[in-house]
Amino acid sequence: MSVEYVKVERADFDQVMVPNYAPAAFIPVRGEGSHVWDQSGRELIDFAGGIAVNSLGHAHPALVKALTDQAQKLWHVSNVFTNEPALRLAHKLVDATFAERVFLANSGAEANEAAFKLARRYAHDVYGPEKFEIIAASNSFHGRTLFTVTVGGQAKYSAGFGPKIEGITHVPFNDLAALKAAISDKTCAVVLEPIQGEGGVLPADKAYLEGVRKLCDEHNALLVFDEVQSGMGRTGELFAYMNYGVTPDILSSAKSLGGGFPIGAMLTTSKIATHLAVGTHGTTYGGNPLASAVAGAVLDVINTPEVLAGVKAKHERFKVRLEQIAAQYGIFTEVRGLGLLLGAALSDAWKGKAKDVLNAAEKEGVMVLQAGPDVVRFAPSLVIPDADIDEGLNRFERAVAKLTQA
């Protein structure tokens, strides 16, 4: 019997996989829209979205068509060549953003790795080798490579892997005075998430980002926005920076960009891009025709007034109901975020128990996330029907009621 037809169960994970994850007790096997079914045929409503990845839900027909059409043409050619889907995607990203140049990768970590390397290379070439320091925010998250976990402001992800990359400083998020005290003419870049995702779904203040932009300009430092989680319509604008009117020099995107197909992108200006000349950086699979074709279809669907306005309306639907649940059960103190990236901060009595909320929700047939131990996170499909929002929140309320009454 071929391996494709061998029966597998959750217990197989513990036998054959590296134990760096602790997956749920059930295995999803099929999805349609905002619904998922597990091996037993049980149906769940998906408010997790593959951690803000499944921007158009599961098996969206436009994405299925883009993938199957491309699969019959060309799968991979490497960057010895370019390909049509990659060029079309890059044109679409340039047309829709501040950017003039695009680098395609496979993940958010790769997009950020490219962004950080470019920032250092640009500063080295233009200002000299002493201008290499990077300032990032405490409690940030930028990926799992050694460079990106070092820039990320969470020690739990970077400890135990040997010497860290030098020249990286962390300051509190949304604290302009702290950044002003830390920045200098040795700073090559300031790296920020416009909304801290893993750090608790914390949006930046508009005045803060405006002040950061000004400080970067004064010190000839590049402003890098990590929009891996906040981008591609997640906030109700195509990218979160558009909500603030603050334009970065470099932007990273992934997650929702592929709608579930692995792809990442780094966006920048022509002036800055010239410093990644031939041979300075690369990736075997970046700009893969399959991934680029899917991402192009994702962008076509999301970057419309109807979908983006719908994200903002669905945000209100979520927030009103979650605040009602908070008021009735006392489990949350605040519902925050933008668009369909929301965080419900747990009250003092429930701090540290976000995983308990996740597990209770799953038992009631709804998939949610956490953003650290103190915040329950919601990142559903950007086109989730209102009826699914209501039913999912009904299930979520039942889970909260059982938790708080136990």
141 among the known binding-site residues? Answer: yes
Residue 65 covered by a domain: no
The answer to whether the beta carbons of residues 94 and 274 sit under 8 Å apart is no
Residue 119 covered by a domain: yes
Which domain CATH number covers 129? 3.40.640.10
Of the candidates 269, 303, 337, which is a domain's last residue? 303
How many other C-beta atoms can be found within 10 angstroms of the C-beta atom of residue 264? 28
- For residue 162, what pLDDT is reported? 87
Residues 158 and 220 grouped into a single domain: yes
Q: DSSP alpha helices (H): ranges in 104-173?
A: 108-127, 146-151, 155-158
Residue 64 covered by a domain: no
Q: Work out the pLDDT band at 2, boundaries 50, 70, 90.
A: low
Residue 82's domain comprises 74-303
- For residue 76, what pLDDT is reported? 96
Q: Which residues pair with 367 in a beta bridge?
A: 46
| % of the chain beyond a pLDDT of 70 | 99
Mean pLDDT of 180-190: 98
Residues 92 and 122 grouped into a single domain: yes
- For residue 3, what pLDDT is reported? 55
Q: Work out the pLDDT band at 333, boundaries 50, 70, 90.
A: very high
Indicate the number of domains in the chain. Answer: 2
Residues 54 and 84 grouped into a single domain: no
Of the candidates 303, 329, 356, which is a domain's last residue? 303
Give yes or no for residue 4 having a pLDDT over 70. no
Over residues 240-250, the pLDDT tens digits come to 999 999 999 99
Residues 270 and 344 grouped into a single domain: no
Rounded to the nearest 10 degrees, what angle do helices 386-405 and 305-329 cross at? 20
Phi, psi of 22 (to 5 degrees): -130, 75
Residues 268 and 350 grouped into a single domain: no
Mean pLDDT of 175-181: 98
- For residue 158, what pLDDT is reported? 87
Residue 367 covered by a domain: yes
Which domain CATH number covers 395? 3.90.1150.10
Q: Quick one: 312 exposed, middle or buried, by C-beta within 10 A (0-12, 13-18, 19+)? A: middle
Over residues 68-127, the pLDDT tens digits come to 999 999 999 999 999 999 999 999 999 999 999 999 999 999 999 999 999 999 999 999
The answer to whether the beta carbons of residues 368 and 361 sit under 8 Å apart is yes
Residues 199 and 159 grouped into a single domain: yes
Phi, psi of 152 (to 5 degrees): -60, 140
- For residue 224, what pLDDT is reported? 98
224 among the known binding-site residues? Answer: no
Task: Assign 3-state DSSP to the chain and report helix, strand, coil percentages, each to 5.
Answer: 40, 20, 40
Question: Considering the chain, what is the average pLDDT of its residues?
Answer: 96
Residue 4 covered by a domain: no
283 among the known binding-site residues? Answer: yes
- For residue 5, what pLDDT is reported? 72
Q: Are strands 187-192 and 222-226 parallel, antiparallel or unpaired?
A: parallel
Residues 294 and 351 grouped into a single domain: no
Q: Are strands 366-367 and 43-46 parallel, antiparallel or unpaired?
A: parallel
Q: Which two tokens stand for residue 157?
A: 């992800």
Residue 3 covered by a domain: no
Q: What is the pTM of this model?
A: 0.95
How many other C-beta atoms can be found within 10 angstroms of the C-beta atom of residue 290? 22
108 among the known binding-site residues? Answer: yes
- For residue 263, what pLDDT is reported? 98
132 among the known binding-site residues? Answer: no
284 among the known binding-site residues? Answer: yes
Of the candidates 303, 329, 350, which is a domain's last residue? 303
Neighbouring residues of 181: CB distance < 8 A, sequence distance ≥ 6: 171
Mean pLDDT of 27-51: 97
Residues 87 and 37 grouped into a single domain: no
Residues 273 and 362 grouped into a single domain: no
229 among the known binding-site residues? Answer: yes
Active site residues: 141, 226, 255
Residue 190 covered by a domain: yes
CA atoms within 13 A on the CB side of 365: 16
Residues 326 and 366 grouped into a single domain: yes
Residues 317 and 287 grouped into a single domain: no
Residues 325 and 363 grouped into a single domain: yes
Residue 118 covered by a domain: yes
